[in-house]
Amino acid sequence: MKVLKNVPLSDFSNFGVGGPAKEVIFIDSPEELPELLEGDFLLFGEATNVLFPDEGLDKRIIFNRRGNFQVDGLWIIADSGASLAEIVNAAVENRLSGLEYLAGIPGTLGGAIFGNAGAFGKQIGDIVKEVEYWKDGRVIKSKKIGFGYRDSQFKREGGIILRAWLKLERGTGREKKIQEEVISLRRKKHPPPGTACAGSFFKNVVLPNGEKIAAGLLLDKVGAKNLRVGDARVFEGHANFIINTGHATAKDIITLANLMKDRVRQVFGITLEEEVIIVRDP
Ligand SMILES: Cc1cc2nc3c(=O)[nH]c(=O)nc-3n(C[C@H](O)[C@H](O)[C@H](O)COP(=O)(O)OP(=O)(O)OC[C@H]3O[C@@H](n4cnc5c(N)ncnc54)[C@H](O)[C@@H]3O)c2cc1C
């Protein structure tokens, strides 16, 4: 493992934001994880869905970015630190169906399970059949995982995901084509690769009748694309993305997000909920 002291979290987060952490650990292998899970710590994957605080974090920060996986018939058994994109590729190459619509989502499998990551109406929770996780010093294996829209039991109740069993379906032969189409659609809609951001900032709105309204649509209608605070801006191509165009702070981004929320609340009476995880030192 690699251990760094008092380094800025901005260097390790896709948003490029965050003050110093007391200790930052990058694991070399998933076997190193269990011994690190004690005391005051927080664990992240690729930090593609988080906003770290400007004040930094006075605790041990573990980046779980290493992991292996294997394909066994219809199953993929993977460490939480494995790259979701690599797992998607392996599924497609093995003519398995169930992950192709998640192509292009950055980050680790652990991060994806935590937030039940998804796109085009599909989410990782649809195919996760069993998870091995750490909680309060115990390792637990469970087939019952409470997933919701961008939500999981881990988000609500804590626990560190160590490994997961994904069950796919025999492919139809169209998976590769779907994967390519998904990636090309994402290229058109999303900020270009390398942009400092954390994906969609707000969750889509689910009405009581189950109907979903895209947060980006509401934000577009209230003119959010013109908003900026310091170097934090709303992406011109998609109003649900906040991008860091230089030296934005977490404060800039939160102020901008609140302006966006206020506008939507005033015009539509709807309160948007953050999808990005705002990390705070309690
Ligand atoms: C350009 C871009 C596009 C994106 N598009 C999408 C999209 O289409 N759909 C979508 O759902 N998301 C999208 N995202 C958001 C993000 O990529 C996903 O949420 C991803 O699954 C996060 O994985 P990560 O490893 O980066 O998690 P991190 O950002 O590192 O962590 C996110 C949260 O998960 C927790 N966590 C991470 N690993 C574990 C673990 N092993 N055990 C317990 N908790 C853990 C962390 O503590 C944190 O609270 C996008 C992001 C970007 C930058």
| CATH code, 41 | 3.30.43.10
The verdict on 171 and 80 lying in the same domain is yes
Q: Whose CA is nearest to atom 27 of ligand 1?
A: 111
Q: Whose CA is nearest to atom 34 of ligand 1?
A: 111
pLDDT value for 281: 80
Structural domain count of the chain: 3
The residue type of 245 is T
Task: Say if strands 232-234 and 196-200 run parallel, antiparallel, or are unpaired.
Answer: unpaired
pLDDT value for 200: 98
What is the rounded distance in angstroms from the CA atom of residue 20 to the CA atom of residue 13? 12
Considering the domain boundaries, does residue 180 fall inside one?
Answer: no
Please tell me if the CB atom of residue 114 comes closer than 6 angstroms to any atom of ligand 1. Answer: yes
Please tell me if the CB atom of residue 204 comes closer than 6 angstroms to any atom of ligand 1. Answer: no
Please tell me if the CB atom of residue 64 comes closer than 6 angstroms to any atom of ligand 1. Answer: yes
pLDDT value for 20: 97
The verdict on 139 and 233 lying in the same domain is no
State residue 89 phi and psi, 5-degree precision.
Answer: -60, -45
The percentage of the chain sitting over the pLDDT mark of 70, rounded to a whole number, equals 100
> Mind telling me the catalytic residues?
150, 200, 275
CATH number for 246: 3.90.78.10
Whether the CB-CB separation of 47 and 81 falls below 8 Å is answered with no
Q: Which residue has the tokens 């260097």?
A: 11
The verdict on 118 and 209 lying in the same domain is no
Ligand 1 atom at minimal distance to the Cα of residue 115: 19
The verdict on 218 and 149 lying in the same domain is no
Write down which residue in 63, 78, 103 finishes a domain: 63
Pocket test for ligand 1, best of 49, 51, 60, 149 (most atoms within 8 A of CB): 49
Residue 199, domain extent: 192-278
User: What does the pLDDT look like over 56-111, one tens digit per residue?
Assistant: 999 999 999 999 999 999 999 999 999 999 999 999 999 999 999 999 999 999 99
Which strand ranges, in their side-by-side order, compose the sheet holding 57-63?
Answer: 2-8, 20-26, 57-63, 41-44
What is the rounded distance in angstroms from the CA atom of residue 44 to the CA atom of residue 65? 8
Calculate the alpha carbon distances from 133 to 140, 159, 248 in Å.
5, 6, 35
The verdict on 98 and 18 lying in the same domain is no
Residues of the chain with pLDDT under 70: none
The verdict on 21 and 90 lying in the same domain is no
Considering the domain boundaries, does residue 163 fall inside one?
Answer: yes
Pocket test for ligand 1, best of 15, 84, 114, 187 (most atoms within 8 A of CB): 114
The verdict on 262 and 217 lying in the same domain is yes
Considering the domain boundaries, does residue 161 fall inside one?
Answer: yes
Considering the domain boundaries, does residue 184 fall inside one?
Answer: no
pLDDT value for 282: 72
Considering the domain boundaries, does residue 211 fall inside one?
Answer: yes
Please tell me if the CB atom of residue 50 comes closer than 6 angstroms to any atom of ligand 1. Answer: yes
CATH number for 115: 3.30.465.10
What is the rounded distance in angstroms from the CA atom of residue 140 to the CA atom of residue 162? 10
pTM of the model: 0.97
The verdict on 165 and 220 lying in the same domain is no
Considering the domain boundaries, does residue 183 fall inside one?
Answer: no
The verdict on 84 and 163 lying in the same domain is yes
Token code pair at residue 36:
């690190």
Write down which residue in 116, 148, 175 finishes a domain: 175
Residue 29 per-residue DSSP state: S
The verdict on 73 and 55 lying in the same domain is no
The verdict on 154 and 78 lying in the same domain is yes
Task: For residue 52, report the distance from its CA to the centre of ligand 1, in Å.
Answer: 13
Task: Say if strands 277-278 and 57-63 run parallel, antiparallel, or are unpaired.
Answer: unpaired
The verdict on 87 and 170 lying in the same domain is yes
Q: Helical H runs in the chain?
A: 33-36, 84-93, 109-114, 153-157, 175-189, 215-221, 250-268
Considering the domain boundaries, does residue 223 fall inside one?
Answer: yes
pLDDT value for 104: 97
Please tell me if the CB atom of residue 111 comes closer than 6 angstroms to any atom of ligand 1. Answer: yes
Pocket test for ligand 1, best of 12, 24, 46, 48 (most atoms within 8 A of CB): 48
Helix (H, G, I), strand (E, B) or coil at 130: strand
Calculate the alpha carbon distances from 279 to 52, 56, 100, 227, 258 in Å.
5, 10, 30, 23, 16
Please tell me if the CB atom of residue 53 comes closer than 6 angstroms to any atom of ligand 1. Answer: no
pLDDT value for 129: 98
Write down which residue in 145, 175, 205 finishes a domain: 175
Considering the domain boundaries, does residue 182 fall inside one?
Answer: no
pLDDT value for 210: 87
